[in-house]
Structure 1
Amino acid sequence: MIDSYEFDVFLAYNSVDKPLVKAIAKYLKSKGLRLWFDEEQIKPGDPIADRVIEGIFQSPVALLFIGTSGFGKFQRLWELNTLIMLCCQENIRIIPILLPGVDLNSRQLGLFYGIECLQFHQSVDETEKLEKLVQAIRGDQRLTSNVCIIDEGLGSFVVNIMGRLIEGGDIRSQNTPIGEPTKEAIKELENITGMTICNANLVRYATFNFKLKDGTEVKTWTRPLLGGDHIFLSAPDGRVIFCGFVWLKSYNLKQAIENIKTNCT
């Protein structure tokens, strides 16, 4: 593992699955792995959200456990979105773990299209699966494909590390001619650390900021509660040319927007 991390792996799970997760955690510990496990890392009086974010940043791998009850309320409303966004931006590997009894046709598993999951069929004591998990965490065996998942709350979609949209409703323009000012703006945005392609349909929530010399409109939106500063470049016909967001790096985006306004308008 990379010594600069405090933990080897972050555990995210529904509280109703804790007994099963604890059994797996015990095995991982016996193999010398350092775990971020909420009951051990979050103390009474601690700000839960802050501790979760710290744990994600301090781990190169995240295990996302899915049991028969699906995602827990906290996962659905906050932790899952945060985990996925941070993993995309910080290049943290997500390994979905399917606990015994999970229906492979469950709609929730559509979130992991393109990622190989590790499934426990009969029990969490399946030695072969446990050892495979240890190897995957250590990087000896790759379980996950080269994609990241983003859930923007308006339907799940998948993008690869090059930012190419694979699945989901997309209103990005494929054929609209792009002028030099827009090309320069896109280059500026793509150079922002942590910039991640987002769902183009979110442009409906964005606010108009200004126009570029070639007529492209610059729009922005900050997602309520969870945060995430979004930016959209839209053609005069309304088609989205560029769509992306940053999380915890809003200053860099604001600076890029100022540069675009200065150089491209």
Structure 2
Amino acid sequence: MERAGGMCYNAIRYNSKEKECGMRFQEELISKIMTYFTVILLLGILVFEAWSLQRERTSRREAQESAASALDMLDEMTSQNARLEEENEALHERLEEWEPYLSLAESEEMVSLKRELFSHPALIPDQAVEALTEELAQERAEEQESPAEESQTAAEEEETESELVFEFHKDGGEPVFFPLSTQVVDADNCLIYTVAYEKTSGRKLGLLYEVDLDWIREESSAQKSFEEEAAGPEIPGGWICVAYNTGSGWNGVEENGD
């Protein structure tokens, strides 16, 4: 009996020790898990703090770059504004400088001269027509492709001079008529710049006329007093072409083609 009781006591004691070891193992395991969890949590906090600092630095750097860009843009806009003000002042000065010419071009006398010039293409001097004819013939000679066309080209050149027809309106656009005198009321003469267009080739012919205003005014007064009207294609007097430009530079007119 005593032996059986001792064995039972030993068994109970062994079971209690085993149970105690199991509980200790569980406690150690839980402690290790909590330690690992705490370490992971601390690492996560450190990573988050580092990310927050990096983001803050990036935001600060972007803000500094934006501020610098805004300052550069402000400086550029300030310089542009100053440049625009200078250009505006220059435009106002030019407008004031050219205002007398603009008012002159709209005067009744200039409108009458404009109508008279544009209705008489014969005022274009022969010297200018001949110069343009030579240039057109030279261009045709350079463009010909074979010697067989030389005879045909020569025949065309002979007909070119008589075929040149000029007009002052190009494709329905506004004609060029620019008076170059600011004292047309008191002046004895006036310079007028205009452009004529050759219908076939479309070439421009710049013309500079000197107009005898006294002669035209006297003629106009005489016509009004006698109630006469201009009839036929008679070339009006008082117009002298002093220079022409076929596109290669200005040339003086030696003799008036009228």
* Normalised-by-shorter TM-score class: under 0.3
Higher Rg:
2
Higher strand share: 1
